[in-house]
Chains A and B, each alone.
Chain A
């Protein structure tokens, strides 16, 4: 397998109006690996994800997907090159049924992949099947999170961007989401997970980068980060 990353982000500067949020952010995602993007609330994790997905276009920098720079392209073009973005607030369509939410996400992957179908989603997310005709707005937080991930998977992404998948969920639901991510990882998924909570990432991620005040301040394997109490104390909520 080549060492060339699927996603290479380099020199990313992002502004909201006049205020600069990201400073020279760089990271690399390798085939089949899961990278945890860790940082405190307000550190710039969501902005990094949005910049990669094209929802918050960067002012400067490179977002390379499979070697092609997509920085500044509209979100639907970036999605079609294989980026599957699951936003922090999930953004389920509240007046669409679970099935309709999934159908909206349905598309082929950039290489014509169509591994994901309603049937496969209901196999991997058995909890969603009985909710098939329920309105998205009437799901619990955990169910919405599963639906948000499933909806993005329906688009056969090459890379999954998950923004705080455990946020606001009860511990038992967080455990279930973690299990799901391990299942996906076992199938060879390439994933970037933003989290404040390192512990959630321990069992799901291979590598870690830490972001603080809009800059990447640390890169290592997740095990290396776990062993580095100094970095954790300085940059992460305990």
Chain B
């Protein structure tokens, strides 16, 4: 524990800027993953344990496409589209077979997929850590905001993830697809009686969730070391986020993600050996105060 360092940071503008920025990045990338997880849970009522693997796959696809084309933009695009397709196949041929079965069965199907993906990554990309490197466009001197160091890429990440969040919000609240998705989350049988193929809606939601995870993996690739199994920690963090924010609530996922991001970033200064513990502590406190999560529905 290093409370002195934490106090110093909290009273220094430059340290505040630096840590807040890094907290926001952790939080916003986490949000992209957690938003898909909570969306899938809200509509399909299944916990998609493979969500971390989608994130991992996104990062590796970005690595390869970046290597081939030298374009970070194409790399991220490939991550999003590639993972969306994998998610679609996984949903159609595997996950959709266990909707309505017990959670253990769903867990088993997901766990098999996680193991297969981890091994596939080891076979295709090798077992050692990989790094993608920063695109040339971002190899610029960092910005100084109030004395705090903010790399250009970090600023880019924050803006892009914010834009994606706004687009996601518009899709959910303003489009027919979003309207139908929200209705199917509450009463799929009435949606179906009105002539809408809810199976397709479920696939669409799963694909959208997968795409968001792939996007997050692709976007994060330059600042993460890639390894088989990297999906696991983000899966756990996404769970914490959805529990904090309320299962099924996208706004709650945003709130939870940013909280976790800030806890990680400031926690690493004040409690460097207890960062993971802090996240669980935060979750426990929120669960005691509001068992359904910050923005979750009671009951």
Interface residues of A (CB under 8 A from B): 53-55, 74-76, 79-80, 85, 87, 91, 93-96, 100, 103-105, 107, 151-152, 155
Task: List A contacts of B180 (CB < 8 A).
Answer: 104
Known: A87-B190, A105-B195. 4 other contacts (CB 8 A): A76-B195, A93-B183, A107-B195, A152-B194
Q: Is B183 within 8 A of A76, CB to CB?
A: no
Task: List A contacts of B194 (CB < 8 A).
Answer: 76, 79, 104-105, 107, 151-152, 155
Q: State A74–B180 Cα separation when bound (angstroms).
A: 18
Q: In chain B between 186 and 207, which residues have their CB closer than 8 angstroms to a CB of chain A?
A: 186-187, 189-198
**B182 part of interface (Cβ distance < 8 Å):** yes
Task: List B contacts of A75 (CB < 8 A).
Answer: 189, 192-193
**B7 part of interface (Cβ distance < 8 Å):** no
**B179 part of interface (Cβ distance < 8 Å):** yes
CB distance from A96 to the nearest CB of B (A): 6
Q: State A143–B214 Cα separation when bound (angstroms).
A: 44
Question: Pick the contact of B193 from A85, A94, A103 — CB < 8 Å?
Answer: A85
With both beta carbons as reference points, the residue of chain B lying nearest to A108 in the complex is identified as B195
**B176 part of interface (Cβ distance < 8 Å):** yes
Q: Is B182 within 8 A of A91, CB to CB?
A: no
The 9 sampled A-B contact pairs (Cβ below 8 Å) are: A54-B193, A75-B189, A75-B193, A76-B198, A87-B190, A91-B190, A95-B186, A104-B191, A152-B194
**Residues 35-68 of chain B: 1 if any A CB is under 8 Å from the residue's CB, otherwise 0?**
0000000000000000000000000000000000
Interface residues of B (CB under 8 A from A): 176, 179-180, 182-183, 186-187, 189-198
- A95 with B182, Cβ < 8 A, contacts A76-B198, A103-B176 known: yes
Looking at A74, A75, A105, A155, the one whose CB has the most chain B CB atoms below 10 A away is A75
Task: List A contacts of B179 (CB < 8 A).
Answer: 96, 100, 103-104
Q: Is B195 within 8 A of A155, CB to CB?
A: yes
Task: List A contacts of B183 (CB < 8 A).
Answer: 93, 96, 100, 104
CB distance from B270 to the nearest CB of A (A): 41
Q: State A152–B195 Cα separation when bound (angstroms).
A: 10
Q: Is B193 within 8 A of A87, CB to CB?
A: yes
With both beta carbons as reference points, the residue of chain A lying nearest to B187 in the complex is identified as A91
Task: List A contacts of B190 (CB < 8 A).
Answer: 87, 91, 93
Nearest 4 A-B pairs (CB), nearest first?
A79-B195, A91-B190, A75-B192, A75-B193
- A55 with B189, Cβ < 8 A, contacts A95-B182, A96-B179 known: yes
CB distance from B233 to the nearest CB of A (A): 34
CB distance from B109 to the nearest CB of A (A): 23
Question: Pick the contact of B182 from A96, A107, A155 — CB < 8 Å?
Answer: A96
Q: Is A76 within 8 A of B196, CB to CB?
A: yes
Question: Pick the contact of B192 from A74, A96, A105, A152 — CB < 8 Å?
Answer: A74
Q: Is B182 within 8 A of A53, CB to CB?
A: no
Q: State A151–B183 Cα separation when bound (angstroms).
A: 13
Task: List A contacts of B195 (CB < 8 A).
Answer: 76, 79-80, 105, 107, 155
With both beta carbons as reference points, the residue of chain B lying nearest to A106 in the complex is identified as B176
Q: State A206–B166 Cα separation when bound (angstroms).
A: 54
CB distance from A158 to the nearest CB of B (A): 12
With both beta carbons as reference points, the residue of chain B lying nearest to A99 in the complex is identified as B179
Looking at B187, B193, B195, B197, the one whose CB has the most chain A CB atoms below 10 A away is B195
CB distance from A16 to the nearest CB of B (A): 15
Task: List B contacts of A53 (CB < 8 A).
Answer: 193
With both beta carbons as reference points, the residue of chain A lying nearest to B201 in the complex is identified as A76
Q: State A221–B191 Cα separation when bound (angstroms).
A: 34
Task: List B contacts of A100 (CB < 8 A).
Answer: 179, 183
Task: List B contacts of A93 (CB < 8 A).
Answer: 182-183, 186-187, 190
With both beta carbons as reference points, the residue of chain A lying nearest to B178 in the complex is identified as A100
Task: List B contacts of A151 (CB < 8 A).
Answer: 194
Task: List B contacts of A155 (CB < 8 A).
Answer: 194-195
Q: Is B186 within 8 A of A79, CB to CB?
A: no
CB distance from B291 to the nearest CB of A (A): 21
Q: Is B193 within 8 A of A104, CB to CB?
A: no
With both beta carbons as reference points, the residue of chain A lying nearest to B197 in the complex is identified as A76
- A94 with B192, Cβ < 8 A, contacts A76-B197, A103-B176, A104-B180 known: no
Task: List A contacts of B198 (CB < 8 A).
Answer: 76
Q: State A104–B177 Cα separation when bound (angstroms).
A: 9
Q: State A65–B196 Cα separation when bound (angstroms).
A: 18
Task: List A contacts of B192 (CB < 8 A).
Answer: 55, 74-76, 79
CB distance from A155 to the nearest CB of B (A): 5
